[in-house]
Structure 1
């Protein structure tokens, strides 16, 4: 009897055919029946694999029309990180260290590339953070939304995707940090970052984003003592 691991093997095989160019963007892949025969598995396992690929936006299913390969931008190649990031919730410090590297550069790029509309959205998000200072769950959501807006402002699909993946893991950790230490540090630092972006001072945006990441790391170390 087949299990979930069979489905994952099928998924990896299909993904390999797509990523090595055997099945190109916009092309219809072979039917579930033929795939099952070629891979010597059941149609159920093939169907499960295709559903997962559709969830990762690698393929699209058209009712009555088969399955087609999507246009694969750079961000799609990071989708395989998603299960690992969702399952590995003990790597908060490592994620924060990664943010220390990524987010200052993202803030700098955002300052140089974003339009005025995005700055307005950042302002609204910051105002929401102020409004929800006493509601840590909502405050955390707005905090992560603030960083999502900065990622979007870079116009870089990889930065946007990495931010999306990390946000899925960070929410519960960030909320716990704010519950223990309060939101004041985050409020002030986000204001500095926002003002730097609004003034189109990319170097200052870099500095304040880095200080924010460093402070978060130091707070976590303090809590662990």
Structure 2
């Protein structure tokens, strides 16, 4: 597959940022100079810069030039959103992802979360019970429960990734509950909630692991 010249320029600029040569707030080299340094056309340089501006990696200031944005890891994670929302994942891949991510999130939440988060988890669980017969609302409250666990980790990357995956997880959860029903989930969420309330990190992780592994097993049984 032929590589576009603008993509080569993009990688070259990205390398200058990653290496620390161009730090946040730095005014980057002018387009003509970059074109000369990289031995490419100014059009290719302009295309690469415009793409990086669109991704919030660079910022243009009228009359001043182009500067490196105030970057954080979430800036780069934001760029994954189009891919994550356009790609299609089957249930098993989502469950395997959650098996990796949710278990440690529950452990961290039990250790770090505030009393306010515990109250919000209790509220979400209560609402799950209230809407047991309404799959749309039940799924919404189930997702709220898991998002609050992520928030309780106090880890900005875990929170950000869960926010990015929200729509995919929502679709996934609705499909699961229509297939498997909510009963097992209600029982298991109570165990998870109690473990977090008791600040028992190991037990919280174990109950989340059992919850997801049970779901995987039941789904495989149905698929057979």
TM-score class, shorter:
0.7 to 0.9
Q: Residue 42 and residue 125 in structure 1: after superposition, are their counterparts in 2 closer, same or farther (change >3 A)?
A: same
- Aligned ranges 1:1-225 → 2 under 5 Å: 12-29=11-28, 40-41=43-44, 43=46, 46-51=49-54, 53-54=55-56, 58=57, 68-73=68-73, 75-225=74-224
Question: TM-score, structure 2 length as denominator?
Answer: 0.77
CA contact (8 A) 1:29 1:69 kept: no
SS in 1 for 2:44: coil
CA contact (8 A) 1:26 1:71 kept: no
How many angstroms does 1:162 deviate by? 3.1
| In 1: Cα distance, 2:10 partner to 2:41 partner | 13
How many angstroms does 1:19 deviate by? 2.4
Question: Based on CA coordinates, which of the two structures has the bigger radius of gyration?
Answer: 2
Q: CA RMSD in A?
A: 3.2
| In 2: Cα distance, 1:8 partner to 1:92 partner | 34
Q: Larger deviation: 137-146 or 193-202?
A: 137-146
How many angstroms does 1:170 deviate by? 2.1
Q: Residue 6 and residue 179 in structure 1: after superposition, are their counterparts in 2 closer, same or farther (change >3 A)?
A: farther
| In 2: Cα distance, 1:29 partner to 1:204 partner | 51
Q: Larger deviation: 205-214 or 181-190?
A: 181-190
| In 1: Cα distance, 2:222 partner to 2:32 partner | 55
Alignment length, in residue pairs? 216
Question: TM-score, structure 1 length as denominator?
Answer: 0.77
Q: Residue 142 and residue 31 in structure 1: after superposition, are their counterparts in 2 closer, same or farther (change >3 A)?
A: farther
How many angstroms does 1:13 deviate by? 4.8
Unpaired runs of at least 5, structure 2 = none
